[in-house]
Amino acid sequence: MIGAILTTLFFALSAVTGQRVAVQLGSIWGNAVRLLIAAIVLGFIVLIAWPDSVGGAPFLWFLLSGVVGFGVGDVALFLAYERIGSRLTILLNLCLAPLFAMGLEWVWLGNGITWSIAICAAIIMVGVTMALRPSTKSSQKMMRRGNFSFGVICAIVAGFGQGTGAVISRKAEEAAIEVEMTINGISAAFQRVLAGFLFAAVVVVLIRLFSKRKGWKQWGNPLDRKLAPWLLGAALFGPVIGVSCFQWALSNLQGGIVLAVVATTPIVMIPLAAWNEHDHSSRLAIAGAFVAVAGVVLLNVWA
């Protein structure tokens, strides 16, 4: 249980630090630098401990999962951080991701949709709708910039990326079993993060080549000492430490219990976002967050 609780905490810290990086460094550029750092750290660990866990058909599936999850998903995630803050971004991302995952499993793998799943989906959507209510204090200190509606769309896309990437990862794990290859969570995370970084790097290059200068001239300096702790936190708390704690939790508890605990991350985000971003939620928004999280918890328990 400690592993699941630590996962929730580190995922929340990853969101808080990621939001700060998105605003100060630029969402596209900040995400690419953060994934580069995470890929280097994870790659070093895998090279030392599990060098034989990368390759073959599983590697191709993990790359595809990484392009969708860490590539498309995290680019959208950081765009949402910059526009709607970490609290709403994580709520939409984590609560909608299971719905996208089950939808893909239904279309691709033929898994049925039961009444219990439909009820949970309805609960989640009601909670998310309530949580979208504007903050009670529209302070100029709130660390946001850009269009709010576009940020909501980006958070939904991030949920799609995470949910779809998770399903593809299961396909990669099945491919590893077929070839009798042992791949742990850290190695899988490295392969997915590597693909995500390559996708993010391509996006950065395309923006620099084809967009007007105003599209990237505000990108910050990743070597700024004041930003360094936030950048390192965004890189390490999620893909490295958070994933490690998640795998530790899965090795000691049933998967449904772990996912149910981790689903409470949006609740942990409420005080953190208020402290870091001056994002003070309305009572209805807080109630909506609890309703949406309750739907996800029930979904993991009943599924």
pLDDT at 68: 94
pLDDT at 174: 87
pLDDT tens digit sequence for 237-290: 988 888 888 777 766 666 556 777 888 899 999 898 888 888 888 888 889 999
Q: Name the DSSP letter for residue 134.
A: P
Average pLDDT taken over every residue of the chain: 85
Give me 111's structure tokens: 């898994």
Residue 127 predicted with pLDDT over 80: yes
Say what angle helices 2-25 and 27-49 make with each other, to 10 degrees: 140
Residue 6 predicted with pLDDT over 60: yes
Residue keyed to tokens 């850009």: 146
3-state secondary structure of 154: helix
Q: Give the integer Cα–Cα distance in Å for 198 and 67.
A: 8
pLDDT at 140: 46
pLDDT at 204: 92
pLDDT tens digit sequence for 178-226: 988 888 888 888 999 999 999 999 999 988 887 776 656 677 788 888 8
pLDDT tens digit sequence for 148-185: 899 999 999 999 998 888 888 888 888 988 988 888 88
**pTM passes above 0.95:** no
The torsion of the CA quartet 261, 265, 267, 268, rounded to 10 degrees, works out to 110
Average pLDDT, stretch 54-69?
Answer: 91
Higher pLDDT, 243 or 122: 122
Domain ranges in the chain are 2-302
Q: Give the integer Cα–Cα distance in Å for 13 and 229.
A: 12
Higher pLDDT, 137 or 111: 111
pLDDT at 97: 87
pLDDT at 114: 80
Residue 141 predicted with pLDDT over 80: no
User: Cα-flanking dihedrals φ and ψ of residue 224, to 5°?
Assistant: -65, 125
Q: Is the dihedral of CA 13, 18, 19, 23 positive or negative?
A: positive
Q: Is the dihedral of CA 148, 277, 132, 101 positive or negative?
A: positive
Higher pLDDT, 80 or 276: 80
Q: How far is CA 131 from CA 13, 82, 213, 282, 298, in A?
A: 20, 18, 36, 8, 18
pLDDT at 45: 93
pLDDT at 255: 55
Residue 134 predicted with pLDDT over 90: no
Say what angle helices 74-104 and 2-25 make with each other, to 10 degrees: 140
Average pLDDT, stretch 37-56?
Answer: 92
